[in-house]
Amino acid sequence: MGNDMVAALRAAVGARVAVDVDLSGYTTMRVGGPAAALVQAESLADLRAVAAVVRETGCAWMVIGRGSNLLVADEGWPGIAVVLGRGFRGVEVDGDLVRAGAAEPMPALSREVARHGLAGLAFGVAIPGTVGGAVRMNAGAHGGEIRDVLVWAEVARIRADSALERWEADRLGFSYRHSELPADAIVTGVEVQLRPADADQLAEDMAEMRRWRRENQPINQPSCGSVFRNPEGDSAGRLIEAAGCKGLRVGGAQVSQRHANFITVGSRARAADVHAIIRQVRQRVYDTAGVSLRTEVVLAGFDDHADGGAAGEESAEVRT
C-alpha cells in the first residue's frame, strides 16, 4: 500500500509530495519519527488529490498545522501528513467581519485584527496554533474561545471528494476544547465577527497576556503546550502537582517545574519518554484523586491512544 500511495500522490500533486519526512521538525515538541508521505497542499485541488488517494488506498491521514499539540511516535506515522501552505493563509477585514485562511497562525491573526481596532480575538496571541486547529478543538485562553466569535467555518470533506461545505457556528457543537466537526473535515477558512475597540488598549492587553505566559509557562523550552484537558471544575495542573508529579522525569522529558500541565523535552528526548510520562501522570492522578485525565495533545502512531485523542484512519484533524 505504501508504494501505491506515494505513486498516486506524486501523480496527482507532483513535487509537493515528500517521502519519509521527519515530523519532529513539524511539531513544537521536536520529537517523533517520519511520515510515510507529506503533502504540502496549496489549493483545494491538492486536497482533492489527497482525498482520492485516501479513498482508493484506505491509508491513514492527518493534517498538521503548527504541531503545537501533536506527539508523533518515534516509529513515525504510517500514512499521509498534510500541511496547508500559503495558499490557505490570508486575512480580509470587512468592517467587524474578518475572514481568514485556516493556515493563518492565531497570534498573527490576533495582532492583525487588533491593529484594525477589533476586539474579540486578543486571546489568540497566546495560542501557538493555526486558525483551523483553533476551530477543530475550540481553542481558548485568558477567558476567550474561538466559539465566542466564529460565524462560520469552511471545510473540505476527505470522504466526499473534498467538496466544500460551510458550517455555521451553531452547527459545530462547540464545548470545552471540542467541536463536532466530522473526522474527515479539513477546515480551509473561517469568518469571525468582532467588535470595535481601542487599538492601543488591545495592544496593551495582548502584551499582558504574553507577559503572563512568560512568567507562568515554560514557553522557551520545547513542549506541546497543555498536555491534559482541565476536568470540569478543576485544573489539570493542580491535580498533577498534588499527585507529586511536578518535576517527574523519564529519559529526556520532564513535567515542567514551572507549570505541571506542561511536559518539556531536552536534546536527547524521545517521543517514548513523553508518552511514558503521560501514562504515569494519568495513573498517579487517578490513584490520588480518582480523576481520569483526558489528553489535549493528539497522539499519532502509538499503539494505545490513552483516552482516544489520537489520529487514525479517519483522522481527527491535527491542525495545531
Q: Is 177 a catalytic residue?
A: yes
Q: Is 223 a catalytic residue?
A: no
Task: Give the number of other CB atoms < 10 A from CB of residue 202.
Answer: 23
Q: Cβ neighbours of residue 287 under 8 Å, at least 6 residues apart?
A: 243
Give the β-pairing of 163-168 and 150-157: antiparallel
Nearest to residue 29, comparing CAs of 218, 249, 271? 271
Which of 89, 136, 147, 177 is labelled catalytic? 177
Which of 104, 145, 154, 296 is labelled catalytic? 296
In this structure, are residues 9 and 17 in contact, taking their beta carbons and an 8 Å threshold? yes
Q: Is 213 a catalytic residue?
A: no
Integer CA distances (angstroms), 101 to 105, 155, 175, 204, in order: 9, 11, 23, 26
HSE-up of 143 (CA within 13 Å, CB side)? 4
HSE-up of 180 (CA within 13 Å, CB side)? 9
In DSSP notation, 84-130 reads: E-GGG--EEEETTEEEEETTSBHHHHHHHHHHTTEES-GGGGG--SB
Give the β-pairing of 195-196 and 118-119: antiparallel
On the 0-12 / 13-18 / 19+ scale of CB atoms within 10 A, 39 is buried
Rg (CA), the chain: 19
User: Which amino acid would we find at residue 48?
Assistant: R
Give the β-pairing of 97-101 and 185-193: antiparallel
In this structure, are residues 9 and 49 in contact, taking their beta carbons and an 8 Å threshold? yes
Which of 179, 226, 256, 315 is labelled catalytic? 226
Cite the active site residues: 177, 226, 296
